[in-house]
A and B are shown apart, each in its own frame.
Chain A
Amino acid sequence: MATSSERSPPPFPDSEDQELLESEEVGAPDSDDDDEGEDLFVSAINPEQLTKMDTTLPEIDQPSAISAEPPSEAMGDPLVEPVSHTEDKPASEAVSESLDDFVDLTNNETDAPGDAITAEIAITDATKETTEIALDEPSDDFVDLLGNETEVAREEVVTEDVTVEAVPDSSEAVGSITDPPSDDRTGSDAEQEVKEASSCPIIDTSIDSSASNTQQPPVSEKIADPLVDLISDAPPADVKKPSQPLTDLFEDEPSDLFREPQLTKSAKQPQKSLFDEPDEDIFGEPLGATSKKTLNVAGVEQKEKNVTTKSGGSDVSGIGGPLNDNFHPEPTDIFTEEAVTTVPSVVSTSSVTSKTNGVHSEEEADIFAEATVELSLDSPRNDRKKNVMTKPAASAPSLSVAASLSKPQSATLEELEEEEQEDKFDINISITNPEKIGDGMNAYMAYKVSTQTTLPMFRSKAFTVRRRFSDFLGLYEKLSEKHGPNGYIVPPPPEKSILGMTKVKVGKEDPSSAEFVERRRAALERYLQRVVCHPSLLQDPDVREFLERDELPRAVNTQALSGAGFLKMINKATDAVSKMTIKMNESDVWFEEKLQEVESADQQFRKIHGLVDSLVGHRKELSLNTAGFAKSVAMLGSSEDNTALSRALSQLAEVEDKMEQLHQEQASNDSFCFAELLADYIRLLGAVRGSFDQRMKAWQRWQDAQSMLQKKRETEAKLLWANKPDKLQLAKDEITEWEAKVTQYERDFDRVSATVRKEVLRFEKEKARDFKKQIIKYLESMLQSQQQLIKYWEAFLPEAKAIA
């Protein structure tokens, strides 16, 4: 909650801003349909900024105490605007337009909840109480926050009549906004019941609120109810794929921007350029965009750097920074996330109702990007605007929450699988030409990584880079650092093999080191293919850079024997210990069962891997013995004095020689196709378990925060009793902070859970598919060897018959 104090107080909306807002909205709807022209953004953005700059800057540093009132006051006005818009425009346009407003509204809302929280907590004890009650149920906070907001609104109602009137208006506007899309959808595609369902409660609430102008309390209840149900019913959102990346995206985004409200135009520059890409890359660039944006965010402090990172394509530290922000408690984020993820979906469905479902996800992706743009543009500078929008925020979160939560609930596995089908990206990676570079112990193997793709995110259709083994490890390190904590299953690369590599380094051209290199090459290829098959990982700039960039900075800390390696080992050990100490009372049977399944599968895979290894050993032995026998029979044939028999025996020797070859080949097939496949899956299952661990960690963090909050409350109660008002304020602040943390951690946990769930399902699907493919390959190799065997013996048969 470090940023909350910085969060600028909302001033009264002035007419100038409203107009600006309007102008922007007028521009946006056109682009909204499906091609979001960058120009539009640029144009929309620029005037805003210019004007906003003046207005916002002074307000930035105002203490948060002020924030208590202004937001609520602001609530009324902005919504009036959209309504008037809708009246002016033709129906369809009106919808999209007002939706656009909506996007804006939700953007602002990023602040609103935060403000609301601080405001309420600071001012009204009553609100706090409600929050406390809500805390009993883990995910109830959310509801409460919403409830609180409406309460704020209610207070406002008491104080200011004008706002009261504005509120119903706004909610009406909301109603009208949400209504058409949902209707359309029901009309056109019955399949999307999910979405409909998601929007339904919101519609109800909004309609309710509009219906009961004066009856505020019911409204809050209404909003709260469906949510409670939804939350208690289902662990949220393993579903919405498109929203997932977005979630990431928005986590850091707003907070960082808030922290840097002085963001100037120059900083804006890169952002604009950035938006070119999301627009071009239709298929789910959100993540790419995200990280880019985070780059920008990080670079906000140093604007020049920002520009360079943009053009250069990467700055590792830059990426790392903002990502870590994820873990900062940021209640606002949650709202942003939710709101933004859902709003665009509404937009897409409404504005693109004529479009098919298939297009849907793409649309969403685009819209996300767009939404991001608006958000990042608006929120930091347009504090005023933000405040203007506070009111809609009250209804927006309810919509978003309801939508995002109800979706997971009704989203079935089938739906997920449908999504999975879309996971196939047109990208083909092959690793060839392992080449030894250097001499002695400094020698290393470089591999040629060739990529063929039609994906627009890459600069060309085919490109090749040279990478060494540690680069692969480095890529994994980066990916697992970034995506691991979020519950993603990051495919692990093959292990380092000091022995194997030393052999290669020593440079003996013996078959075992050639085999080692080939084995590693194949393993690396499979590893990379797994990475690019992952929809989220493919979007990662590091992956792209790995595939595209000519020179990669040397990966560090991948040496097995280095200090970093040692540290890693220690970390692993502590992790293992903490894992043992964490006693998670699993609330979700699914995870429990899956974990068990994964663990037993891991065990069995290990066992079978050992067995296949021994099969390989035995097969090699057989090959060796066959060779011995062949030699011996050849000798026997040479001393046989019957010519025909002698001939037959030497033929037999030849056949046995070929058999030796067959056994040898089969042995390497066993090891290449089968044992390696198993080894891969042992590693992958390890990664799966890792994601479960991450979920557990998230849970632990949440629990810790909760108990901390409990402690703080107790302290507060004591202070209250002891009647020490000076310290009381501090305690209250702390409680606020921890409440926010709890909410955030809970969100985190839910999100990680959802990701893990999704990832595990994805992994299982991939596993089945991959396994089948590999097994068929393996069996075909066996088949071939048996066919060969038949041929050899059939050739031998007449020889045997010719023995006189």
Chain B
Amino acid sequence: MTSALDESDKEKTRSVSVDLNNDASLLIDIPDALCERDKVKFTVHTKTTLSAFQKPEFSVPRQHEDFIWLHDTLVETEDYAGLIIPPAPPKPDFESPREKMHKLGEGEATMTKEEYNKMKQELEAEYLAVFKKTVQVHEIFLQRLSSHAILSKDRNFQIFLEYDQDLSVRRKNAKEMFGGFFKNMVKTADEVIISGIKEVDDFFEQEKTFLLDYYSKIKDSTAKAEKMTRSHKNVADDYIHISATLNTLSADDSTALKKHLDKLSDLFEKLRKVEGRVASDQELKLTELLRYYMRDIQAAKDLLYRRARALADYEHSNKALDKARLKSKDVPQAEEHQQQCLQKFDKLSESGKRELTSFKGRRVVAFRKNLIEMAELEIKHAKNNVTLLQGCIDLLKSN
């Protein structure tokens, strides 16, 4: 199952989930991608005026794992602790369309040739949509990095963009996977522990409660939106079958009804296309938006965690300093450590505040844009439907 994505398609479907202050010094896009079995090979194209790069324009092949690697290194970089690291793109998931395709193959006998072909087409379209979406989220990840004042200067990021060989990032082995899992556990436990620490800044206190609440809500909404679009797709699929059956029915019919059935079959065929578009547009404009911000909020939460950790460290160092003073032993060391922690914490707080504020603005803008687009698309499709229905009704009435 190999399919290539061409540029024009991508341009159309690019969802603006994030507001990117496109500064022309570093432009990144993924003009092409190739899907081979489970692996998706992205072609990352960069156009830049920055002197840090050797050439003004270059393209490199990258895989999904490379993106993950880049994300992980960014997260692990101590200097970026005060930043919201853009969420890593999700792993390409072609399972659902593949599974459906498989099912379709099994059910081939129960369908007419035409019906089968239509279903296949529909699945292929779905597959393509998933593919496009995958490319898009990877692209957005890079674009967000490139548009970030600090992250765009990251060395690893530049290597990722420029190194024209295969990065051949080593896959995580089992131990590392487990390590990652363990780290997550520790982090969760840690979060619980440090949650007891008294917050010193109201802004962060508020932000924390907001994000926690918002995260759970948006997670729920994402799931619900997904369900909704899926059932919308089912409706569109039903239209296919109905249309096909009406067609067979009209083929057998020899009466005046034949014409009507033909028209009805036609209508359902057209309606299902529109209905399918409605479903996929909802998916793109709404579900994807929610999903993206769910991940972004997770990233923001991570920032808060890091800050809280730093705060805990600072408190800890304070205690240590007190102890040291009490014992009059290693006081300068402790003082230094305490100062470091304070500095770090202050730095984190400062950049965190900045990041969170910008995140808020970004989110509102993205929501606005997507909601407007979705409403417009809904109207467009509904109008389309109205025209189709009206046309069919007129046709039926006229004879």
The residues of A with any CB-CB pair to B shorter than 8 Å are: 597, 600-601, 604-605, 607-608, 611-612, 614-615, 618-619, 621-622, 624-626, 628-629, 631-633, 635-636, 639-642, 644-645, 648-649, 652, 764-765, 767-768, 771-772, 775-776, 779-780, 782-783, 786-787, 789-790, 793-794, 796-797, 800-801, 803-804
**Taking the nearest CB of chain B, how far is it from the CB of A610, in angstroms?**
9
Residues of A within 8 Å of B224, CB to CB, are 625, 628-629, 631-633
- Which of B368, B376, B389 interacts with A783 by CB under 8 Å? B389
Across the interface, do B372 and A600 meet the contact criterion of CB distance under 8 Å? no
Across the interface, do B375 and A800 meet the contact criterion of CB distance under 8 Å? yes
Across the interface, do A783 and B386 meet the contact criterion of CB distance under 8 Å? yes
User: A624 vs B382: C-alpha distance in the bound complex, in angstroms?
Assistant: 20
Across the interface, do B393 and A639 meet the contact criterion of CB distance under 8 Å? no
Given A601-B253, A622-B232, A636-B221: A648 and B242 interface contact (C-beta under 8 Å): no
Across the interface, do A611 and B252 meet the contact criterion of CB distance under 8 Å? no
Q: Which of B318-358 contact A (CB under 8 A)?
A: none
1/0 contact string of B217-247 vs chain A (CB within 8 Å): 1101100110110111011001101100110
* A-B contacts, 6 listed (Cβ < 8 Å): A615-B235, A629-B221, A645-B364, A768-B255, A768-B260, A776-B397
Judge if B379 is at the interface, Cβ distance under 8 Å.
yes
The residues of B with any CB-CB pair to A shorter than 8 Å are: 210, 213-214, 217-218, 220-221, 224-225, 227-228, 230-232, 234-235, 238-239, 241-242, 245-246, 248-249, 252-257, 260, 264, 267, 360, 363-364, 367-368, 371-372, 375-376, 378-379, 382-383, 385-386, 389-390, 392-393, 396-397
Given A618-B235, A642-B364, A793-B379: A605 and B249 interface contact (C-beta under 8 Å): yes
**Taking the nearest CB of chain B, how far is it from the CB of A416, in angstroms?**
13
- Which of B217, B238, B255, B378 interacts with A767 by CB under 8 Å? B255
Given A771-B257, A797-B379: A779 and B392 interface contact (C-beta under 8 Å): yes
User: A775 vs B225: C-alpha distance in the bound complex, in angstroms?
Assistant: 32
Across the interface, do A801 and B231 meet the contact criterion of CB distance under 8 Å? no
- Which of A608, A626, A782, A803 interacts with B228 by CB under 8 Å? A626
User: A631 vs B217: C-alpha distance in the bound complex, in angstroms?
Assistant: 10
Chain B contact surface mostly: helix
Across the interface, do B372 and A772 meet the contact criterion of CB distance under 8 Å? no
The 5 closest A-B pairs by CB, nearest first: A803-B368, A768-B256, A615-B238, A800-B371, A629-B224
- Which of A635, A641, A767, A790 interacts with B379 by CB under 8 Å? A790
**Taking the nearest CB of chain B, how far is it from the CB of A473, in angstroms?**
29
Residues of B within 8 Å of A600, CB to CB, are 252
- Which of B231, B363, B382 interacts with A621 by CB under 8 Å? B231
Residues of A within 8 Å of B221, CB to CB, are 629, 632-633, 635-636
Nearest residue (CB) in B for A623 is B231
User: A793 vs B378: C-alpha distance in the bound complex, in angstroms?
Assistant: 7
Q: Give me 13 other A-B pairs in contact (C-beta within 8 A), A625-B228, A626-B228, A790-B383 excluded.
A: A604-B249, A608-B249, A615-B242, A628-B228, A633-B224, A639-B214, A645-B367, A648-B368, A764-B255, A768-B260, A783-B386, A794-B379, A800-B371
Across the interface, do B372 and A645 meet the contact criterion of CB distance under 8 Å? no
Across the interface, do B252 and A597 meet the contact criterion of CB distance under 8 Å? yes
User: A753 vs B231: C-alpha distance in the bound complex, in angstroms?
Assistant: 50
Residues of A within 8 Å of B217, CB to CB, are 632, 635-636, 639
User: A608 vs B241: C-alpha distance in the bound complex, in angstroms?
Assistant: 8
User: A767 vs B392: C-alpha distance in the bound complex, in angstroms?
Assistant: 19
Residues of B within 8 Å of A622, CB to CB, are 228, 231-232, 234-235
Across the interface, do A635 and B260 meet the contact criterion of CB distance under 8 Å? no
User: A648 vs B231: C-alpha distance in the bound complex, in angstroms?
Assistant: 24
User: A199 vs B230: C-alpha distance in the bound complex, in angstroms?
Assistant: 71
Across the interface, do B256 and A786 meet the contact criterion of CB distance under 8 Å? no
Chain A contact surface mostly: helix
User: A635 vs B383: C-alpha distance in the bound complex, in angstroms?
Assistant: 30
- Which of A608, A648, A767 interacts with B257 by CB under 8 Å? A767
- Which of B249, B372, B397 interacts with A801 by CB under 8 Å? B372
User: A780 vs B376: C-alpha distance in the bound complex, in angstroms?
Assistant: 23
Across the interface, do A776 and B396 meet the contact criterion of CB distance under 8 Å? yes
User: A804 vs B256: C-alpha distance in the bound complex, in angstroms?
Assistant: 58
Nearest residue (CB) in B for A629 is B224
Residues of A within 8 Å of B227, CB to CB, are 625, 628-629
User: A611 vs B272: C-alpha distance in the bound complex, in angstroms?
Assistant: 14
Given A604-B249, A611-B241: A800 and B372 interface contact (C-beta under 8 Å): yes
User: A786 vs B364: C-alpha distance in the bound complex, in angstroms?
Assistant: 30
Nearest residue (CB) in B for A614 is B238
User: A189 vs B100: C-alpha distance in the bound complex, in angstroms?
Assistant: 68
**Taking the nearest CB of chain A, how far is it from the CB of B231, in angstroms?**
4
Given A625-B228, A626-B228, A639-B210: A783 and B390 interface contact (C-beta under 8 Å): yes
Given A629-B228, A783-B390: A618 and B368 interface contact (C-beta under 8 Å): no
Nearest residue (CB) in A for B379 is A793
User: A163 vs B66: C-alpha distance in the bound complex, in angstroms?
Assistant: 118
Residues of A within 8 Å of B246, CB to CB, are 608
- Which of A605, A608, A767, A772 interacts with B242 by CB under 8 Å? A608
Nearest residue (CB) in A for B290 is A636
Residues of B within 8 Å of A636, CB to CB, are 214, 217-218, 220-221
Residues of B within 8 Å of A648, CB to CB, are 367-368, 371
User: A764 vs B379: C-alpha distance in the bound complex, in angstroms?
Assistant: 40
Nearest residue (CB) in B for A770 is B257
User: A636 vs B294: C-alpha distance in the bound complex, in angstroms?
Assistant: 12
**Taking the nearest CB of chain B, how far is it from the CB of A774, in angstroms?**
10
**Taking the nearest CB of chain B, how far is it from the CB of A68, in angstroms?**
53
Residues of A within 8 Å of B379, CB to CB, are 790, 793-794, 797
Residues of A within 8 Å of B220, CB to CB, are 632, 635-636
**Taking the nearest CB of chain B, how far is it from the CB of A735, in angstroms?**
45
- Which of B235, B245, B375, B376 interacts with A607 by CB under 8 Å? B245
Residues of A within 8 Å of B242, CB to CB, are 608, 611-612, 615
Residues of B within 8 Å of A803, CB to CB, are 364, 367-368, 371
**Taking the nearest CB of chain A, how far is it from the CB of B134, in angstroms?**
24
**Taking the nearest CB of chain A, how far is it from the CB of B140, in angstroms?**
20
Residues of B within 8 Å of A776, CB to CB, are 393, 396-397
User: A771 vs B264: C-alpha distance in the bound complex, in angstroms?
Assistant: 11
- Which of B253, B371, B375 interacts with A597 by CB under 8 Å? B253
Residues of B within 8 Å of A768, CB to CB, are 255-257, 260
Across the interface, do A601 and B252 meet the contact criterion of CB distance under 8 Å? yes
**Taking the nearest CB of chain B, how far is it from the CB of A790, in angstroms?**
4
Residues of B within 8 Å of A780, CB to CB, are 389, 393
Residues of A within 8 Å of B389, CB to CB, are 779-780, 782-783, 786
Residues of B within 8 Å of A775, CB to CB, are 260, 264, 396
Across the interface, do B255 and A786 meet the contact criterion of CB distance under 8 Å? no
Residues of B within 8 Å of A644, CB to CB, are 364
User: A796 vs B264: C-alpha distance in the bound complex, in angstroms?
Assistant: 32
Across the interface, do A771 and B235 meet the contact criterion of CB distance under 8 Å? no
Given A622-B235, A796-B375: A629 and B225 interface contact (C-beta under 8 Å): yes
User: A428 vs B385: C-alpha distance in the bound complex, in angstroms?
Assistant: 35
**Taking the nearest CB of chain A, how far is it from the CB of B286, in angstroms?**
9
**Taking the nearest CB of chain B, how far is it from the CB of A445, in angstroms?**
32
Across the interface, do A618 and B372 meet the contact criterion of CB distance under 8 Å? no
User: A625 vs B256: C-alpha distance in the bound complex, in angstroms?
Assistant: 40
**Taking the nearest CB of chain B, how far is it from the CB of A329, in angstroms?**
37
Given A626-B228, A633-B221: A604 and B245 interface contact (C-beta under 8 Å): yes
Across the interface, do A618 and B252 meet the contact criterion of CB distance under 8 Å? no
User: A794 vs B380: C-alpha distance in the bound complex, in angstroms?
Assistant: 10
User: A77 vs B214: C-alpha distance in the bound complex, in angstroms?
Assistant: 110
- Which of A621, A640, A793 interacts with B234 by CB under 8 Å? A621
Across the interface, do A641 and B228 meet the contact criterion of CB distance under 8 Å? no
Across the interface, do B231 and A618 meet the contact criterion of CB distance under 8 Å? yes
Residues of A within 8 Å of B368, CB to CB, are 645, 648, 800-801, 803
**Taking the nearest CB of chain A, how far is it from the CB of B223, in angstroms?**
8
Across the interface, do B228 and A772 meet the contact criterion of CB distance under 8 Å? no
**Taking the nearest CB of chain A, how far is it from the CB of B73, in angstroms?**
32
User: A803 vs B372: C-alpha distance in the bound complex, in angstroms?
Assistant: 10
- Which of A625, A794, A804 interacts with B364 by CB under 8 Å? A804
Nearest residue (CB) in A for B397 is A776
